Amino acid sequence: MNTISPDRGGPLALFSQRLEGLAGAERQQAVAALQHAGLPTRRVEAWKYTALRVLGQTSLSAPAATYDAAAARAALDHVLAAQDGLADQPRLVFVNGRHAPDLSVAPKGVKVTFFADAPRFGNAASPDRDPLVALNTALAEDGANIQVEAGVDGGTLLLVSIGLGGQALTFSFHPRHAVVLEAGARLTLVCVQAGQGAYFHNPVTDIHVGAAAALEHVTLQLEGAEAVGLGTVYADVDREGVYDSFALGVDGLLLRHEVHARLGASRAAVHVNGVQRLGGAQVGDMTSVITHAAPDCISRQTVRNVLDGHARGVFQGKVLVEQIAQKTDGYQMNQALLLSPDAEIDAKPELEIYADDVRCSHGATVGALDDEQLFYLRSRGVPDAQARQILIEAFVDETLGLIAHEGAQALCRAMLARKGGAGESA
């Protein structure tokens, strides 16, 4: 029997009972990896800025099999009402980690199966490399397997996860999703992570973009006010394929969006962009590792953080260029706007280059609202709060403009406007 000692890996003891006696080689390997490494602490380089002690000391059980249908519908409507154009799109909805057919609208032209019916863990996301992936591998119960056949335009698909928690953090769910685009296929996937209350949401998404295929992947983190959302994405991109991703972090006590993208064949392209708008005591972490494993590939990353109150943002972006990856073109930039003297940004852009014919650059900037611009707006009758919001919107506007899908971009803008309307320190 697998056992986890209470002092091994700190927060890992919260899952000890659920990790005992799991069946299946993949799950057993994941438990072994967890027993060896534990969950990450701040001594682990990739987690030095983000602590998991917010998970508390109460064992985290699996969510109940039933849920409040009215609350789930209300949470879904709250999102869809912000952008009418997306309300009519097909969607796959999961509540507390399980597929909710009554809230879903089946897509056409896209093949969908479910992890609960035939568990499949994929190849890119390895539990040996990431303890959160190992935890997901051990405890995953459901998720969506999405496949777009060669040459097919799958249109737009919403993947919605709704967490319904209480006042205390007592349960966790670990969806396992897979997305496969065959050669020449196209898809816009809008992932919305929404909810209320306290819970731990730990999704893993395994993505393959085939030759000359294109996936636009937009993720909105709108978790419950006391929720912890730690999402991991592994994307492998084939020859001339494009993986274009964007993450918006708005709601949740602790958010982390981690992307591992590999350009595995020539003339592939990866974009990993994002915006965070955080306040209060929120912590938001955007971490990426972009690996150039083939020549003549392009990667772009632009992340902007707007932080108020005692909020803390984290940007860790690594571009790894292997020796074979000549003619690499990589760009990475993080810019933070601090609205409070108590807000903090930890930025660590990083280049690791083994090829000698490349064009790579990175950078980071930190600043505050421009007093002269505020004075200009106020001198023309614009109230102070509105003037500040105008400048904040101007700061993130260029990055939001990188979202090609008009409906997804409008939804992101609407959620940012709601955050601004609730007050900068909320």
Per-residue pLDDT reduced to its tens digit, 7-18 = 444 578 889 889
The C-alpha atoms of residue 345 and residue 366 are separated, in whole angstroms, by: 8
Of the candidates 159, 180, 226, 171, which has an alpha carbon nearest to the alpha carbon of residue 202? 171
Higher pLDDT, 24 or 286: 286
Residue 211 CA to residue 301 CA, distance in Å, equals 22
Q: Give me 47's structure tokens.
A: 């987690």
Ramachandran angles phi, psi of 234, nearest 5°: -115, 125
Model pLDDT, residue 248: 98
pLDDT of residue 335: 96
The answer, yes or no, to whether residue 273 has pLDDT greater than 70, is yes
Q: Is the pLDDT of residue 227 over 90?
A: yes
Residue 128 has pLDDT above 80, yes or no: no
pLDDT tops 90 at residue 330: yes
82 token code pair: 């912000």
User: What predicted TM-score, i.e. pTM, was given to this entire model?
Assistant: 0.93
pLDDT value, residue 125: 64
211: left (phi over 0), alpha (psi -120 to 50) or beta: beta
pLDDT at residue 124, rounded to an integer = 65
pLDDT tens, position by position, 177-189: 999 999 999 999 9
| Residue 276's pLDDT band (cuts 50, 70, 90) | very high
Q: Please give the torsion angle defined by the CA atoms of residues 73, 75, 79 and 81, in that order, rounded to the nearest 10 degrees.
A: 50
Q: How far is CA 312 from CA 45, 278, 340, in A?
A: 18, 8, 11
- The pLDDT confidence band at residue 252, using thresholds 50, 70 and 90, is very high
How confident is the model over 356-374, as a mean pLDDT? 93
Task: With cut-offs at 50, 70 and 90, classify the pLDDT of residue 422.
Answer: low
Q: Is the pLDDT of residue 380 over 80?
A: yes
pLDDT attached to residue 6: 39
User: To 10 degrees, what angle do helices 371-379 and 384-400 make?
Assistant: 120
Give me the pLDDT at residue 275, please.
97
User: CA-CA distance, 76 to 71, in Å (whole number)?
Assistant: 9
Helix (H) or strand (E) holding 35: helix 25-37
Confidence at residue 315, expressed as pLDDT on a 0 to 100 scale: 97
Express as a percent the part of the chain with pLDDT over 70: 95
Lowest-pLDDT choice from 220-229, 320-329, 372-381, 404-413: 372-381
The pLDDT value recorded for residue 120 is 84
- The overall average pLDDT reported for the chain is 92
Structural tokens at position 386:
């509105």
Residue 128 to residue 29: CA distance in whole angstroms: 9
Q: Are 39 and 134 within 8 A, CB to CB?
A: no
Q: What is the pLDDT of residue 2?
A: 42
